């Protein structure tokens, strides 16, 4: 048996694991199946100078320890920027979150939303799913027109199929005064949970990661095909076998369990019940500077192909050539609920057409970049199978000493700082035999 610690994956949670090991004077062998490092936090570069992350990755943690660690990883070379978020609904643009910024929407729907909100009562309201929570929190008109439509686009399934475990601060519940103020005021207070974000001055979001792996060898093009807990060995697609003393994995658990030699049928079946969405990222470069002031736009129309837009050139001027703009559209699909029924060319065509429809692109815009990136794993779907199935899988992984981490290892709705901390925790468990 080897005394080597193995880390599978080289994304942000693996970075957290490496950081914790180095703080304890230890190293590990890092393996990644891709031909490039940094996993889901990788930055893709297109000529003539457009940078796109795999989704709108920014650092907005309020954890001062993580802030300091991340700042140090860049040598202090980052920008801090006020976050600008908005919403598109049936031809209208509203500041995010829309429940606090109803001004400018049709008077009829604003009146109905406020009247329903005023009648809300928490007395004897039974919450069995996310749809129940939305109706109880905002009233039926707002729930139906905004978060319920968005849920089907982003989570790929109806709100009735989701639990409420994932909500946290993501869905603001205003009081009546806030709703009314947002309906009559041009500039109501900013109550969003993210006020500012940090981003590297150059090179994209992935620039946070290299320093965490300093002194660690990352073996690329190493896809795991089998893990043998009994022999403490990992077998790769090229035939290489590596022995380990401790194993830390950021492989998505539905893909991890089938790799484990001797995994019980109950665990295999539980892993199959876990649901997730994949995402087609449509990356568009635009030879025009005045696209939008927003960093993120949420899109509620069900007949528009994308659910969310981000604008890398606003996140950092280093992400696009001078005088140019960029937009990244997110199109979600899932194996369990809504398989992808568009080709990559169709994703691009639909995205461009819908960006024109929203008024963001013009018919005569020059688009030097029209590319897609497919993320097989994007978001965990918190459906009613998740909790029980995940408990079975994690219990088994704990039993065999496979230390999981990250959004897809913990199978949770994690942000960047949480994923990093998850990697630290996995590494600590590995060192302590937990």
- Which of 191, 223, 256 delimits the end of a domain? 191
Q: Quote the pTM value.
A: 0.96
pLDDT in tens, 380-418: 999 999 999 999 999 999 999 999 999 999 999 999 999
Percent of the chain with pLDDT over 90: 93
Statement to judge: residues 196 and 91 lie in one domain: yes
User: What are the tens digits of pLDDT across the range 174-230?
Assistant: 999 999 999 999 888 878 778 899 999 999 999 999 999 999 999 999 999 999 999
**Of 367, 383, 399, which residue is a domain's last?**
383
Residue 239's pLDDT is: 97
23 shares its domain with 69:
no
**Do residues 72 and 196 both lie within one domain?**
yes
| pLDDT at residue 169 tops 90 | no
Task: Mark whether 227 and 307 lie in a shared domain.
Answer: no
Could you tell me the pLDDT band of residue 2, with boundaries at 50, 70 and 90? low
pLDDT at position 148: 97
| Pair 89, 237 in one domain | no
Mark whether 331 and 423 lie in a shared domain: no
Q: Is the pLDDT of residue 1 over 50?
A: no
Cβ-based burial of 123 (10 A; exposed 0-12, middle 13-18, buried ≥19): exposed
pLDDT given for residue 172 in this prediction: 86
Q: Are residues 220 and 307 in the same domain?
A: no
Nearest Cα to 349, choosing from 376, 335, 331? 331
Q: What pLDDT, in 10s, does the model give residues 244-285?
A: 999 999 999 999 999 999 999 999 999 999 999 999 999 999
In whole angstroms, how far apart are CA 61 and each of 191, 198, 208, 419? 16, 9, 14, 11
CB 12 within 8 A of CB 39: yes
CATH code assigned at 23: 3.50.50.60
Same domain, 325 and 303: yes
Cα 324 from Cα 50, distance rounded (Å): 9
Please state, rounded to an integer, the average pLDDT across all residues of the chain.
96
Structural domain boundaries, residue 414: 5-38+209-271+385-432
Last residue of a domain, one of 191, 217, 248: 191
Q: How many structural domains are present in the chain?
A: 3
CA distance 105 to 107: 6
Tell me, yes or no, whether 196 and 294 share the same domain: yes
Same domain, 374 and 279: yes
Are 295 and 372 in the same domain?
A: yes
Q: What percentage of the chain's residues is helix, strand, coil (to nearest 5)?
A: 35, 25, 40
Q: Are residues 122 and 184 part of one domain?
A: yes
Residue 208 DSSP symbol: G
């Amino acid at each position: 048996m080897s005394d080597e610690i193995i880390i599978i994956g080289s994304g942000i949670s693996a970075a957290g694991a490496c950081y914790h090991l180095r703080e304890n004077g230890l190293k590990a062998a890092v393996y990644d199946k891709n031909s490039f490092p940094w996993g889901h936090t990788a930055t893709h570069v297109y000529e003539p100078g457009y940078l796109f992350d795999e989704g709108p990755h920014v650092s907005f943690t309020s954890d001062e320890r993580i802030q300091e660690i991340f700042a140090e990883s860049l040598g202090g070379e980052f920008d801090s920027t006020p976050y600008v978020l908005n919403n598109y609904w049936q031809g209208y643009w509203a500041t995010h979150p829309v429940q606090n910024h109803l001004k400018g929407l049709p008077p009829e729907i604003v009146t109905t939303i406020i009247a329903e909100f005023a009648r809300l009562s928490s007395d004897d309201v039974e919450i069995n799913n996310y749809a129940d929570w939305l109706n109880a929190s905002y009233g039926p008109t707002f729930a139906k027109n905004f978060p319920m439509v968005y849920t089907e686009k982003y989570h790929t399934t109806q709100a009735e199929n989701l639990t409420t475990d994932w909500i946290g601060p993501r869905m603001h519940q205003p009081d009546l005064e806030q709703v009314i103020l947002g309906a009559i005021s041009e500039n109501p207070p900013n109550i969003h949970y993210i006020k500012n974000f940090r981003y590297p001055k150059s090179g994209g979001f992935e620039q946070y990661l290299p320093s965490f792996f300093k002194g660690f060898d990352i073996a690329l093009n190493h896809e795991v095909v089998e893990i043998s807990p009994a022999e403490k060995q990992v077998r790769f697609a090229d035939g290489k076998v590596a022995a380990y003393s401790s194993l830390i994995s950021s492989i998505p658990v539905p893909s991890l369990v089938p790799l484990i030699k001797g995994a019980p049928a109950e665990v295999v079946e539980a892993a199959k019940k876990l649901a997730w969405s994949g995402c087609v990222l449509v990356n568009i470069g635009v030879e025009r500077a005045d696209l939008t002031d927003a960093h993120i736009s949420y899109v509620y129309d069900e007949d528009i192909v994308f659910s969310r837009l981000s604008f890398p050139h606003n996140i950092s001027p280093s992400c696009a050539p001078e005088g140019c703009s960029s937009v990244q559209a997110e199109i979600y699909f899932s194996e369990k609920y809504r398989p992808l029924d568009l080709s990559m060319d169709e994703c691009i065509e639909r995205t461009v057409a819908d960006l024109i429809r929203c008024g963001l692109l013009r018919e005569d815009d020059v688009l030097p970049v029209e590319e897609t990136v497919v993320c097989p794993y994007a978001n965990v779907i918190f459906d009613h199978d998740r909790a029980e199935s995940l408990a079975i899988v994690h219990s088994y992984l704990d039993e065999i000493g496979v230390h999981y981490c990250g959004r897809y290892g913990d199978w949770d709705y994690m942000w960047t700082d949480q994923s990093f901390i998850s990697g630290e925790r996995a590494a600590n468990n590995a060192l302590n035999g937990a």
